Copies of this chain bind each other. A is one copy, B any other.
Amino acid sequence: MEFAGTIELVRSVVKAVKIAGKRVGLVPTMGALHAGHISLIKRAVKDCHFVVVSIFVNPTQFGAGEDFENYPRPIEADLEICEKAGADLVFNPSAEVMYGGEGLTWITVEKLTEPLCGRSRPGHFRGVATICAKLFNIVQPDVAYFGQKDAQQAIVIRRMVADLDMPLEVVVCPTVREPDGLALSSRNKYLSVEQRREAAKIYKSLAKCKEMREAGVTDAKQIIAAMREILRQIAGGQIEYVEIVDAETLEQVNEIKGSILGAVAVRLGPARLIDNILL
């Protein structure tokens, strides 16, 4: 496995790979890698000849008072995970490399970034879209891999790629869960033993959503009420949102017909946890 800290090095390595006609996959991450990331890397290894994992805790997607400073950065462990999972190149740039000058250019995706996490994290998706565009332009992958756990992010990136005619494919991989259903997240590390146990109720609420939908309930309000009831039982938890939205437009749905996304955000101690189910 190779390692690059500069844009020039990534470009020269990838250029040689592409001239050889090889398919290049990119897994953009903020590090603190877990089984969810590993599943993305393994999927990329399966699909592509050459897999790049980027590790960069992107300051522009954190708001004031969020956990940018405290976000875990276990780079040694991350590199080992990348190597074991079969990555060919890790790109781990400094903030100076990624945002050397005064960045004046931003990519915004309208509408899709307004509901759900967009409401409590203004500027978050602008930061995500912009850093992803930069990584796409640096690595020039044929495919980029994202997790379904960050459903809104995946939809925003997919839309940006389509709207700007970016020459790559976006693949969204299933959420990886703990045995009790909790979605893997680098932020789970923030939880105490007690909070970690309580956090399993987030998935219980999504399972309830699925169960009711499959039982034929079409009234979104009724399902949301049942989900809320479960989430209210999280000791020390604070519900940020519980929504049922159209799986493509992310607009709120009243009467369920097509594909929907049941999406939840809960604050629990120092962590803000999100999860979703696609039905």
Contact = CB atoms under 8 A, between A and B. Distances in A.
Contacts of A95: none
Contacts of A130: 164
Interface stretch (A106-114, A202-210, A213-221, A252-260): A106-114
A248 to B, nearest CB: 11
Contact of A105 (B21, B134, B160): B160
A221 to B, nearest CB: 28
A279 interface: no
Contacts of A101: 162-163
Contacts of A21: 19
Interface in A159-180: 159-160, 162-167
A137 interface: yes
Interface residues of A, number: 30
A237 to B, nearest CB: 33
A137 B108 contact: no
A278 B187 CA distance: 52
A164 to B, nearest CB: 5
B104 A163 contact: yes
Interface string A104-146: 1111111110000000000000000110011001101000000
Contacts of A163: 101, 103-105, 134
15 contacts: A101-B162, A103-B163, A104-B110, A104-B159, A104-B163, A105-B107, A105-B129, A105-B159, A105-B163, A105-B164, A106-B110, A107-B164, A130-B164, A137-B166, A140-B167
